[in-house]
Amino acid sequence: MKKGALIGCGFFAQNHLHAWKDIEDAEIVALCDRDERRLTETARLFGIDRTYVEAAAMLEAETLDFVDIATTVRTHRPLVEIAAASRVNIICQKPFAETMDDARAMVRAAQDAGVALMVHENFRWQSAIRAAKAEIDKGSIGTPFWGRVSFRSAYDVYSGQPYLATDEKFIIQDLGIHILDIARFLFGDVSTISASTRRVSPNIRAEDVATMMLVHEGGVTSIVDCSYATSLPRENFPETLLEIDGSDGTLRLDAGYRLTLCNALGTTERDVSPPLLPWAERPWHNIQESVLNIERHFVDCLAGGLAPETSGADNLKTLALVYAAYASAADGSRTIAMRNLA
């Protein structure tokens, strides 16, 4: 049994805690939050009686196999560094860091301490995305040469996460980071990126629309597009849609989790909806299931001594795309070479 502690008992951490309850080989034995009201309420809801307002005090007092850091980005580096200094394995929420220097320092701290570090980059763990990847890997559409990874919505994300309306950067750093990571997962690492951004809503500080073009090292060209300013007849939040063209066929993941394959064998359509876990609620059930999947992956990696798919070192490449996209957009959609940026 792996013993863990969770730091940050806010909006999204509630999903982490529900998912941990579903994992037999792991148990959250302690909680930490600087906000005593949130800490007490979360401890009561999940029946966890060891609570701390200071992460350092918790790491000192508890014997842990891992910490799960679910705070917002500004606190990630200091928390990762004190966890590494305590020789505890680490999961850290996305966005991993506000700068590449911070992210690299966190990867180094974990490496020097000999502990595992996984970024909680969960979107690639959604079952619909895994189903699409399995088809690519099976060769169902031959060799992919073009893709579109798309997230367009008008869902009110600001009520649950008010900081999204006031942070200096918004859609690429918060959501595009997931969609860029899916593009890497499906098509491999990236040679060049160009991007344009726009703020449509007058009520927020930063960009709520971004369109990015990626050329992947293996030769695929992909479009990664995100919007929180798109009112559709059917609200698709939080679905990521896919269009992938290959040498021997096409794959589409359309709204409503419909996966369509078209190849020499004909056209087939199937439902790849995520399960509705007992503690989940629509429309978030897709993301909530991916939290369970990534936590389970982390525990399996600890047990097997393996590096997680989205290790800190791996996530440097996703994070580098985020900051390159901002640089490109600021510079009138200049094409940026990714070599040496991670």
- Contacting residues toward ligand NAD, per CB under 6 A: 7-13, 32-35, 38, 55, 70-73, 75, 93-94, 120, 122, 161, 174, 287
Instruction: Report which residue's Cβ sits closest to ligand 89V.
Output: 175
Instruction: Please report how close the Cβ of residue 112 comes to ligand NAD at its closest, in angstroms.
Output: 22
Site string for ligand 89V, 217-256 (x = CB under 6 A): ---------------------x------------------
Instruction: Please report how close the Cβ of residue 122 comes to ligand 89V at its closest, in angstroms.
Output: 8
Counted residue by residue, the chain has a size of 342
Would you tell me how many other CB atoms lie within 10 Å of the CB of residue 286? 23
Helix (H) or strand (E) holding 152: strand 144-152
Instruction: Please report how close the Cβ of residue 178 comes to ligand 89V at its closest, in angstroms.
Output: 6
Q: Is the peptide bond before 275 cis (omega within 30 degrees of 0)?
A: no
Strands 241-246 and 249-254: antiparallel
- Name which position in 132, 175, 220, 302 contacts ligand 89V (CB under 6 A): 175
Residue count, binding to ligand 89V (CB under 6 A): 6
User: Using CA atoms, how far apart are residues 201 and 114, in angstroms rounded to an integer?
Assistant: 45
β-strand partners of 258: 254, 271
Residues 6+ apart with CB under 8 A from 64: 3, 4, 5, 29, 30, 86, 88
User: Does residue 98 interact with ligand 89V by CB under 6 A?
Assistant: no
9 binds, among ligand NAD, ligand 89V, none (CB under 5 to 8 A by kind): ligand NAD
**Residue 34 or 199: which CB sits closer to ligand NAD?**
34
User: Does residue 174 interact with ligand 89V by CB under 6 A?
Assistant: yes
- Name which position in 79, 157, 241, 316 contacts ligand 89V (CB under 6 A): 157
- Asked if 319 and 176 touch (Cβ cutoff 8 Å), the reply is no
Q: Per the structure block, which two tokens stand in for 163?
A: 């900081």
β-strand partners of 193: 214, 336
319 binds, among ligand 89V, ligand NAD, none (CB under 5 to 8 A by kind): none
- CA distances 241 to 123, 192, 216, 318, Å, are 12, 22, 19, 19
Interface with ligand 89V by CB under 6 A: which range of 31-39, 129-137, 172-180, 190-198?
Answer: 172-180
Locus of tokens 């792996």: 2
Residue 101 in 3-state DSSP? helix
**Residue 7 or 157: which CB sits closer to ligand 89V?**
157
User: Using CA atoms, how far apart are residues 275 and 128, in angstroms rounded to an integer?
Assistant: 10
**Residue 72 or 196: which CB sits closer to ligand NAD?**
72
User: Does residue 161 interact with ligand 89V by CB under 6 A?
Assistant: yes
157 binds, among ligand 89V, ligand NAD, none (CB under 5 to 8 A by kind): ligand 89V
Instruction: Please report how close the Cβ of residue 180 comes to ligand 89V at its closest, in angstroms.
Output: 13
**Residue 40 or 191: which CB sits closer to ligand NAD?**
40
- Give the HSE-up count for residue 31: Cα atoms under 13 Å, Cβ half-sphere: 26
User: Does residue 273 interact with ligand 89V by CB under 6 A?
Assistant: no
User: Does residue 13 interact with ligand 89V by CB under 6 A?
Assistant: no
Instruction: Please report how close the Cβ of residue 169 comes to ligand NAD at its closest, in angstroms.
Output: 11
Q: Per the structure block, which two tokens stand in for 10?
A: 């806010």
Residues 6+ apart with CB under 8 A from 102: 76, 77
Instruction: Please report how close the Cβ of residue 195 comes to ligand 89V at its closest, in angstroms.
Output: 18
Instruction: Report which residue's Cβ sits closest to ligand NAD.
Output: 10
User: Using CA atoms, how far apart are residues 25 and 330, in angstroms rounded to an integer?
Assistant: 46
Residues that bind ligand 89V (CB under 6 A): 157, 161, 174-175, 178, 238
